[in-house]
Structure 1
Amino acid sequence: MLMTKNQYFWLIYQKKCRVQTNYPINMADVLKPELIWIEGRCYRINDPAMEITAFQEHDLYENEAIFNDPDDDDEEDEFEIIMMDNNRYSTSMHVSKHYIGSIIGKKGAMKMRIERDTKTDIKIPRQGQTGYIMIYGPSASNVKAARRRVNIIVMSSRMKQKSTHFISIPMNSPDIIKNFENFKEIVLRDNSSRDLEESLFIKAQKLHITVGVMCLMDNEERLYVSKLFTEAKEKIIMPLIRDHLPLRIRLKGLSYMNDDPRSIDVLYGLVQEEAAPTGLLQNLTDALVEYFYKAGFMEKEYGREHVKMHVTLINSKYRSRSSEATTAEDKWKDRRKPRITFDGSEILKKFADYDFGVTELTDIHLSQRHSMGPDGFYQPTCVISCNKA
Structure 2
Amino acid sequence: MASSVFLCAQFTSALLPFNYRNAFLFKFRRNKMDILRPTLIRIGGRVYRKNLIQEQAYQHEEEEDFCAGPSDCADEPCDAFVVEETGKGFQCKVDVPSPLYKYIIGKKGETKKRLETETRTSISIPKPGVEGEIVITGQHRSGVISARTRIDVLLDSFRKKQPFTHFLSFALNQPAIQEKFLQFKEEVLEKCSKDHGVSSSLFQNPAKLHLTLGTLVLLNEQEIQKACDLLQRCKEDFVDQIAGGKPLTVEVAGVEYMNDDPAMTDVLYAKVHMKDGSDRLQVIADQLVDRFVASGLMLKEWDRVKLHATVMNTLFRKDPSAEERNYTMTGKSSFKERESFNGRNILKLFENFYFGEVQLDSVRLSQRFSSDASGYYATSGQLTFS
- Which deviations, in whole Å up to 9, do the C-alpha atoms of 1:175-224 show, x marking residues without a partner? 32222222122112222325222221111121111111122233333333
Q: CA deviation at 1:3?
A: 4.7
1:103 aligns with 2:104: yes
- Which deviations, in whole Å up to 9, do the C-alpha atoms of 1:340-384 show, x marking residues without a partner? 211211111122122212222211111111221111111112222
Hey, what does 1:217 align to over in structure 2?
219
**C-alpha separation between the residues in 2 aligned to 1:27 and 1:269?**
47
Judging changes above 3 Å, is the alpha-carbon distance between structure 1 residues 133 and 269 closer, same or farther for their aligned structure 2 residues? Answer: same
1:289 aligns with 2:289: yes
**C-alpha separation between the residues in 2 aligned to 1:142 and 1:292?**
31
**C-alpha separation between the residues in 2 aligned to 1:176 and 1:27?**
57
Give the letter for the 1:154 counterpart.
L
Hey, what does 2:311 align to over in structure 1?
313
Q: CA deviation at 1:314?
A: 0.5
Cα pair 2:248 2:281 within 8 Å, conserved? no
- Which deviations, in whole Å up to 9, do the C-alpha atoms of 1:110-167 show, x marking residues without a partner? 3345446655432112446553211235677765554343222111101112222211
**C-alpha separation between the residues in 2 aligned to 1:140 and 1:97?**
26
Cα pair 1:37 1:296 within 8 Å, conserved? no
Cα pair 2:245 2:385 within 8 Å, conserved? no
Judging changes above 3 Å, is the alpha-carbon distance between structure 1 residues 361 and 141 closer, same or farther for their aligned structure 2 residues? Answer: farther
Give the letter for the 1:264 counterpart.
T
Hey, what does 2:353 align to over in structure 1?
354
Specify the SS of the correspondent of 1:132: strand
1:200 aligns with 2:202: yes
**C-alpha separation between the residues in 2 aligned to 1:32 and 1:379?**
44
Percent identity between matched residues is 34
Judging changes above 3 Å, is the alpha-carbon distance between structure 1 residues 179 and 39 closer, same or farther for their aligned structure 2 residues? Answer: same
Give the letter for the 1:379 counterpart.
A
Provide the aligned length of Structure 1 versus Structure 2. Answer: 342
Structure 2: runs of 5+ lacking an equivalent: 10-22, 24-29, 59-63, 321-333
**C-alpha separation between the residues in 2 aligned to 1:27 and 1:186?**
59
Which moves more between the two structures, 261-270 or 127-136? Answer: 127-136
Superposition map of 1:24-103 within 5 A: 36-43=41-48, 57-58=68-69, 62=72, 64=73, 66=75, 75=79, 77=80, 82-85=84-87, 88-103=89-104
- Which deviations, in whole Å up to 9, do the C-alpha atoms of 1:254-308 show, x marking residues without a partner? 1101222122111001111222533x3333323333333333332222xx33222
Hey, what does 1:340 align to over in structure 2?
339
Cα pair 2:123 2:137 within 8 Å, conserved? yes
**C-alpha separation between the residues in 2 aligned to 1:381 and 1:258?**
32
RMSD: 3.9
Hey, what does 2:366 align to over in structure 1?
367
**C-alpha separation between the residues in 2 aligned to 1:26 and 1:137?**
36
Specify the SS of the correspondent of 1:372: coil
- Which deviations, in whole Å up to 9, do the C-alpha atoms of 1:309-341 show, x marking residues without a partner? 21100111111579xxxxxxxxxxxx9983221
**C-alpha separation between the residues in 2 aligned to 1:270 and 1:249?**
10
1:382 aligns with 2:381: yes
**C-alpha separation between the residues in 1 aligned to 2:222 and 2:366?**
16
Cα pair 1:167 1:210 within 8 Å, conserved? yes
Cα pair 2:98 2:132 within 8 Å, conserved? no
Cα pair 1:38 1:294 within 8 Å, conserved? no
Judging changes above 3 Å, is the alpha-carbon distance between structure 1 residues 104 and 321 closer, same or farther for their aligned structure 2 residues? Answer: closer
**C-alpha separation between the residues in 2 aligned to 1:164 and 1:43?**
27
Judging changes above 3 Å, is the alpha-carbon distance between structure 1 residues 37 and 234 closer, same or farther for their aligned structure 2 residues? Answer: farther
**C-alpha separation between the residues in 2 aligned to 1:300 and 1:34?**
17
- Which deviations, in whole Å up to 9, do the C-alpha atoms of 1:35-69 show, x marking residues without a partner? 55322223456999977776x6359x85x4626xx
Cα pair 1:49 1:160 within 8 Å, conserved? no
**C-alpha separation between the residues in 1 aligned to 2:261 and 2:164?**
28
Which moves more between the two structures, 308-317 or 355-364? Answer: 355-364
**C-alpha separation between the residues in 2 aligned to 1:224 and 1:267?**
33
Which moves more between the two structures, 251-260 or 107-116? Answer: 107-116
**C-alpha separation between the residues in 1 aligned to 2:218 and 2:351?**
38
Which moves more between the two structures, 143-152 or 343-352? Answer: 143-152
Judging changes above 3 Å, is the alpha-carbon distance between structure 1 residues 265 and 171 closer, same or farther for their aligned structure 2 residues? Answer: same
What TM-score comes out, normalization by structure 2 length?
Answer: 0.74
Which moves more between the two structures, 260-269 or 313-322? Answer: 313-322
Which moves more between the two structures, 131-140 or 196-205? Answer: 131-140
**C-alpha separation between the residues in 2 aligned to 1:198 and 1:167?**
27
